Amino acid sequence: MVPGIAASADPVLQARLFAYPNAARYRLGVQVYCPLQRDGAMRFDENYGSNPNYVGSSIKPTRFYQEQKGGGASALALHTEHEKWVGEVSAYTSEITDDDFVQPAALWDIVGREAGHQDRVIENLVGSIKGVTYPEFRKAVYSLFGRVNHDLWSKLEQRTEAAIKAAGP
């Protein structure tokens, strides 16, 4: 920041003051989370190539190592112990519930108050979704939007599939 100017107490500004430098560090390829976050702009080696950098990919699922018995060198090569600071690292799985769709559904209703707004949203979504090459991924997107509004689901699916057919192979 400019010397003599301080940040206000605005929570959005405070979040941005953290997020912008953090995003810059990611783009530079600083290896803080390697290999979980990888391939910043300054990364010049292959670094796992096009493998997905998240767990749960259906394109190339993550293969986990089997538990090694004994304390030999091979067991040490596969596992590392974490330092214990405040607490232990634990697995966390998030799941999507119906509560996650209450606000998007309310927003969809607000967008529908003026004629043509919902159609523009659908056309913008179609422009992005039609580039998805795996049909099962498109179906997952449709079902996700279907949890917001069933009409949104059907219109989005019809228009996207029509746009894909119109574009040809």
- The residue behind tokens 């493998």 is 51
Tell me which residue of 165, 118, 116 sits closest to 138, measured CA to CA: 165
Q: Which residue has the tokens 């400019």?
A: 2
Answer for the pair 55, 62: CB distance below 8 angstroms, yes or no: yes
Task: Return the pLDDT at 130.
Answer: 94
Question: Which pair of tokens denotes residue 95?
Answer: 């799941």
pTM: 0.49
Residue type, 26: Y
Task: Return left, alpha or beta for 43; rule: phi > 0 is left, psi -120 to 50 is alpha, else beta.
Answer: beta
How far apart CA 47 and CA 157 sit, in angstroms, is: 36
pLDDT of residue 122: 95
pLDDT along the chain (169 residues), means of 10: 80 85 66 51 66 66 65 54 59 80 95 93 95 93 95 96 89
Q: CA-CA distance, 166 to 138, in Å (whole number)?
A: 17
